[in-house]
Amino acid sequence: QEEFPDFTAFWFDTAKPGDTTFTVYALLDSASVTGAYKFVIHCEKSQVIMDVENHLYARKDIKQLGIAPMTSMFSCGNNERRVCDTIHPQIHDSDRLAMWRGNGEWICRPLNNPQKLQFNAYMDDNPKGFGLLQLDRDFSHYQDVMGWYNKRPSLWVEPRNKWGKGAVSLMEIPTTGETLDNVVCFWQPEKAIKAGDTLAFNYRLYWSAQPPVQSPLARVMATRTGMGGFPEGWAPGEHYPDKWARRFAIDFVGGDLKAAAPKGIEPVITLSSGEAKQIEILYVEPFDGYRIQFDWYPTSDSTAPVDMRMFLRCQGEAISETWLYQYFPPAPDKRRYVDDRIMR
């Protein structure tokens, strides 16, 4: 059962005219936990930064504690167009979960709008940062003059003390609209919380168009999915491929891609089930980056989520952040191509 503690009292330091930094103190209270918070809020022209200090006291044993929780909305995007039968190509407040792990690895996990609730926990030890990001700022990719999704901020969490072992937890809830937040993310400590425990998690929140830090390696710009099973440059016309497959195209930009290209770029793909075939590495001049494309072929009738992982390597060294994705295969009787055109 979910429990949402309340902030029961607030105190504000008196601000002077023209101040752009404000300090707020608050008391938190619920059946399971109580605590004291200090928020120092910096209002800048291009971003808002909030320093958070807390001291928490557990009244009861707590199975799952969410630290630095955030919510967002993902209805449809380049990778998930199931509910995008509108004039808007994409509808989302955030397009990915980004993580900078304690070991230095950068991870990009595109968001989904699944058909049933999904909960994933990404284990880590003293994370350097994580957040729900909206990196696609191009209006033409949304065409929304009401929601203005191209202007939605990203939110990045930067731990300011040692958080120890735990997991960045991601919950994705099915939605058919854009008015309900269906994405939840938080840090979950590995150590069980016992009644009487005291905890302190200090962190900094950044609300901005871009996160305050980014990987020096090549970064994922976009993830696209669609019908597979045919050569690139050919689209089904009079017939469809004999065997059903799903195509994935991941666009990488930045880093040392240009220097690595003459030496050879190698995509390293790991799948929890199925096979990756027709793997292609394509240079795309309009965004001056590389598209890694592969077709996923099922090897069973299972509809369990398929966990996909990929990074780029050159001469044995990683040259990109890690792309993580969760794909939901259709039932076997749905694995067919449907031509809804009326031929006359």
Where residue 187 falls among pLDDT bands split at 50, 70, 90? Answer: very high
Where residue 258 falls among pLDDT bands split at 50, 70, 90? Answer: very high
pLDDT of residue 331 exceeding 90, the answer is: yes
The percent of the chain in helix, strand and coil, each rounded to the nearest 5, is: 5, 50, 45
For the full predicted model, state whether its pTM sits above 0.75.
yes
What integer pLDDT is reported at residue 204 of this predicted model?
98
What integer pLDDT is reported at residue 170 of this predicted model?
98
Mean pLDDT, the chain, integer: 93
Number of residues assigned to the chain: 344
What integer pLDDT is reported at residue 318 of this predicted model?
97
Cβ 312 vs Cβ 318: under 8 Å: yes
Domains detected in the chain? 6-208 (2.70.98.10), 219-334 (2.60.40.10)
What integer pLDDT is reported at residue 176 of this predicted model?
85
- How would you class 324 by CB atoms within 10 Å of its CB: exposed for 0-12, middle for 13-18, buried for 19 or more? buried
Of 2-16, 79-93, 211-225, the least confident: 79-93
